[in-house]
């Protein structure tokens, strides 16, 4: 799904479903029955070849093993091995990993820390179903963002409880106060990283918190997941959309998980 900010701040996030080169509006479908049916076909999102199983949310096995974007350092950027000369695709690494990254606080199911390329704001937050987000630091590389995140993970989680996020029971937080508290606690560790990477490598940001609303009419009391690998057809009344999840009266489905699957929407 493609999530974009609404035209006005008090409106809900706007969702479209990718269908080939077209995009199908979804917000207008809320409150109506929909059907999603998987044909059984899966295509690698990188090379296009047919695959019986999707790896890393959309890749065939050869691409999963070959591409730098599927390497473990993408999930754990502090383990970047570019300077060891073992990057799978050095040109790709230079383009995607050696550019400004943001360390942020967000509130999806409670306070969490995260990292993203600067160009991926606010997409990253919308994909996580965050109701609030606040950029706190800017760094020069993806590896540096991972090292900073490791410090913050000593004090705050880096994960979203997706069930709590979907239930809509998340209370608003004072992200500015949380930022100031964490920066004070971690000042020593941050200064050590600056000594290693340069005094201007980790730069504080003075941003205002962002808030987001999602098009949800009814939040589920009990979260039950649909899975195309177990059930090829999913039917129900679309009650809302949050993060990468469709919320139906019959259960929820994470569409990001099934990237590359050939699915018919009616």
Chain centroid offset of residue 221 CA? 24
Neighbours of 156 (CB within 10 A): 16
Average pLDDT value for residue range 76-98: 96
Percent above pLDDT 90 for the chain: 96
Domain boundaries, the chain: 2-55+215-265, 67-98, 99-211
Q: What is the pLDDT of residue 83?
A: 93
Q: How confident is the model at residue 19 (pLDDT cuts 50, 70, 90)?
A: confident
pLDDT tens sequence across 39-73: 999 999 999 999 999 999 999 999 999 999 999 99
d(C-alpha 105, C-alpha 176), whole Å: 9
Average pLDDT value for residue range 174-201: 97
Coil vs helix vs strand at 62: helix
Q: What is the pLDDT of residue 111?
A: 98
Among the residue ranges 12-21, 227-236, 250-259, the one predicted with the least confidence is 12-21
d(C-alpha 160, C-alpha 195), whole Å: 32
Q: What is the pLDDT of residue 22?
A: 85
Global pTM reads 0.94
d(C-alpha 34, C-alpha 30), whole Å: 9
């Amino acid at each position: 799904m493609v999530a974009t900010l609404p035209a006005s701040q008090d409106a809900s996030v706007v969702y479209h479903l990718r269908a080939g080169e077209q995009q199908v509006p979804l917000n207008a479908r809320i409150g109506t029955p929909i059907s999603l049916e998987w044909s059984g076909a899966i295509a690698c999102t990188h090379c296009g070849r047919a695959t019986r199983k999707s790896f890393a949310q959309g890749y065939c096995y050869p691409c999963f093993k070959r591409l730098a974007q599927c390497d473990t350092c993408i999930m754990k950027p502090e383990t970047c091995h570019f300077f060891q000369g073992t990057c799978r695709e050095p040109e790709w690494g230079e383009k995607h990993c050696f550019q400004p990254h943001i360390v942020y606080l967000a509130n999806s199911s409670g306070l969490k820390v995260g990292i993203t390329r600067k160009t991926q704001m606010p997409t990253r937050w919308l994909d996580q179903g965050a109701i609030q987000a606040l950029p706190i630091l800017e760094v020069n590389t993806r590896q540096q963002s991972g090292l900073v995140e490791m410090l913050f993970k000593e004090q705050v989680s880096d994960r979203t409880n997706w069930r709590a996020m979907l239930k809509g029971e998340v209370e608003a937080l004072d992200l500015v106060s949380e930022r100031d508290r964490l920066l004070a606690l971690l000042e020593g560790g941050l200064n050590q990283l600056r000594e290693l990477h340069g005094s201007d490598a980790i730069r504080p940001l003075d941003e205002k918190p962002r808030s987001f609303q999602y098009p949800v009419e009814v939040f589920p009391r009990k979260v039950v997941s649909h899975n195309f690998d177990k059930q090829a057809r999913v039917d129900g009344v679309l009650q809302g959309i949050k993060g990468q999840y469709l919320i139906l009266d019959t259960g929820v489905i994470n569409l990001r998980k099934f990237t590359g699957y050939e699915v018919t929407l009616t």
